[in-house]
Amino acid sequence: MTVFAQSAIARLSSPPALPNKLSLLFVFVVIFSSTAKSQESQGNSRLASWLELQAVPSLGLTSRADQSAFCFEWEATPLLYSFGMTRLVSPWYSFIVEPPARFTGSLELVVTGQANAKKIGSSYFAGSLQLLGHIPLIERGENLSLNLGVGQYYYGKSSSVYAVAGISTLFGIVHLNLKHGSQPTSWIGSLEFRLF
């Protein structure tokens, strides 16, 4: 064994070096645990924020045959595939979706519940299942993107298929969509706020 190796071993095994190693280990443990706690609290606060924002409805106007009604619409995204985000993160999202994952280009499954101010058909309430594609147009979708899709709307005991077309702007937060169904002929115009 060389003199250099012997002196290195002696320094590592000497009593003064042990407290230094323990204090260094203690610092790493404290940093790691505080980072883990902050990530956990960020996840919890993110879920709480998402739940609070789901209570805020989008606004709409439903017109069907000779009936028109102002409506509130609540939306959730059970599944979204983003093809415009970096490949360093997963392209799959469920419920909590950051706007960039949507507006940079995506395919989204949307479930909605709707409350109308007047009866449409036989009910005040409606629901839908939509498949939407978001295509970026200006600044990778930050300023403007195109929304296209299809949906199945349910009003009381009746249902109809809708075509959906619209735009989104302001970093994918504001959506203006027009939905058209043919049997019976009906229209829904909606101003949607999608923060998640």
The pLDDT tens digits of the residues spanning 158-180 come to: 778 889 998 888 877 788 888 88
Using alpha carbons only, how large is the chain's radius of gyration in Å?
27
Tens digits of residue pLDDT in 42-96: 556 766 776 776 777 888 887 876 778 888 888 888 899 988 777 787 888 888 8
CATH number at residue 63: 2.40.160
CA 167 to CA 174: how far, in whole Å?
Answer: 8
User: One-letter amino acid identity for 170?
Assistant: L
Same domain, 124 and 30: no
Q: Which of 50, 68, 88 is the last residue of a domain?
A: 50
Residue 15's domain comprises: 3-50
Same domain, 41 and 60: no
User: One-letter amino acid identity for 145?
Assistant: S
For 47, residues 6+ apart whose C-beta sits below 8 A from its C-beta are: 96
Same domain, 75 and 140: yes
Number of helices (H), then strands (E), in the chain? 3, 9
Same domain, 20 and 92: no
Tens digits of residue pLDDT in 83-140: 877 778 788 888 888 878 888 888 999 898 888 888 777 778 888 899 998 888 888 7
Same domain, 43 and 101: no
Model pLDDT, residue 77: 87
Mean pLDDT, rounded, for 22-49: 52
Same domain, 142 and 173: yes
Same domain, 171 and 114: yes
DSSP state of 27: H
Same domain, 35 and 81: no
For 44, residues 6+ apart whose C-beta sits below 8 A from its C-beta are: none
Q: Which of 50, 66, 84 is the last residue of a domain?
A: 50
Q: Hunting for tokens 């709307």 — which residue is that?
A: 153
Check: CB of residue 80 under 8 Å from CB of residue 149.
Answer: no
Whether the per-residue pLDDT at 34 is higher than 50: the answer is no
Same domain, 35 and 103: no
CA 69 to CA 57: how far, in whole Å?
Answer: 15
Q: pLDDT grade, residue 41 (50/70/90)?
A: very low
Question: How many structural domains compose the chain?
Answer: 2
User: One-letter amino acid identity for 61?
Assistant: L
Same domain, 33 and 124: no
Same domain, 114 and 158: yes
Mean pLDDT, rounded, for 170-191: 81
Same domain, 151 and 107: yes
